[in-house]
Amino acid sequence: DTAVSQTPKYLVTQMGNDKSIKCEQNLGHDTMYWYKQDSKKFLKIMFSYNNKELIINETVPNRFSPKSPDKAHLNLHINSLELGDSAVYFCASSQGWQRNNYGYTFGSGTRLTVV
């Protein structure tokens, strides 16, 4: 069974469209994250939810909106897609988010290409 699963794996879309990426974890973790990996492989956190509550919201355009219907799911909706949004988006989860959180488990990533 996949621990952290993201869908879709690949997403190609035109500029201006709205798209969503879904993430689900079956590890029983209470904290979930979205990271963006750019073309130079640099990984940067975007958002984090703990028990459905937003706890981290980095400097991300407000076209990006996370939604957590329950602690096992964290979705990412992107409005008015731009060329610069092309990247690989990773979902991750952990048990706890403060000191000694025992580390992340990552999903397999969603490669978003905006044309």
Partner 1 sequence: GIQVEQSPPDLILQEGANSTLRCNFSDSVNNLQWFHQNPWGQLINLFYIPSGTKQNGRLSATTVATERYSLLYISSSQTTDSGVYFCAVTTSGTYKYIFGTGTRLKVLA
Contact residues toward partner 1 (CB under 8 A) are 33, 41-45, 48, 56, 88, 90, 97-106, 108-109, 111
The CB-of-80 to partner 1 minimum distance in angstroms stands at 26
Distance CA 115, CA 37 (A): 18
Distance CA 42, CA 19 (A): 23
Residue with Cβ nearer partner 1 (26 or 79): 26
For residue 53, which of 23, 25, 74 has the smallest C-alpha distance? 74
The CB-of-1 to partner 1 minimum distance in angstroms stands at 16
The CB-of-16 to partner 1 minimum distance in angstroms stands at 27
Residue with Cβ nearer partner 1 (83 or 102): 102
Distance CA 106, CA 94 (A): 9
